[in-house]
Amino acid sequence: MNNLFSGRIARLNYFVASLVIAFSFLALAIFLIKFLGVIGMLILMLVGIAGIFFSFSLAIRRLHDIGWSGWLALLFIVPCVNFIFGLLILFIPGNSGGNEYGPAQLEGINFKETFFPSQAATTAQTTSTPPASPPPTPPPGI
């Protein structure tokens, strides 16, 4: 779960993933409320909580791509500020090179990196970690 909030995500991946979440939630809401009524609304509340959790994960990784702290994602809770802040993180380009949050992300849609960050993060960690040096040998006679 830690990988959901670490690493970086490019602008296009953030935009497409946000659209997928929004339209999936809308379609599910129409279906559940139409066919299940009150029970559907209760299910929709649980799905909505999961959607908000994943949306915060996307926002935090997008902020990391810009080089900002993930704590700024809490600005999405503030009315009126959330719309302007959402546009900012959508249009501000990420750092061109690596930053403290990870290597630069290529522009383009990468669903594996966006929706399954733990796999992408472990791949990036194994490729960027230098090989370990052998342990020192003890002096003779010990």
CA neighbours closer than 13 Å in the CB half-sphere of residue 15? 13
Cβ atoms of 86 and 38 closer than 8 Å = no
14 class by beta-carbon count within 10 Å (0-12 exposed, 13-18 middle, 19+ buried):
buried
Domain locations in the chain? 2-101
Mean pLDDT over all residues of the chain? 81
pLDDT digits over 27-60, tens only? Answer: 999 998 888 888 888 999 999 999 999 999 999 9
How many Å is the Cα radius of gyration of the chain?
A: 20
Residue for token digits 């990988």? 3
How many angstroms separate the CA atoms of 41 and 39, rounded? 5
How many angstroms separate the CA atoms of 105 and 20, rounded? 20
Give the chain's count of helices (H) and strands (E). Answer: 5, 0
| CB-CB neighbours of 139 under 10 Å | 6
Query: In the 8-state DSSP scheme, what is residue 72?
Result: G
**Percentage, residues of the chain above pLDDT 90:** 37
Question: What is the pLDDT at residue 126?
Answer: 43
Query: In the 8-state DSSP scheme, what is residue 97?
Result: S
Cβ atoms of 64 and 102 closer than 8 Å = yes
pLDDT digits over 94-130, tens only? Answer: 888 888 888 877 666 666 666 666 554 444 444 455 5
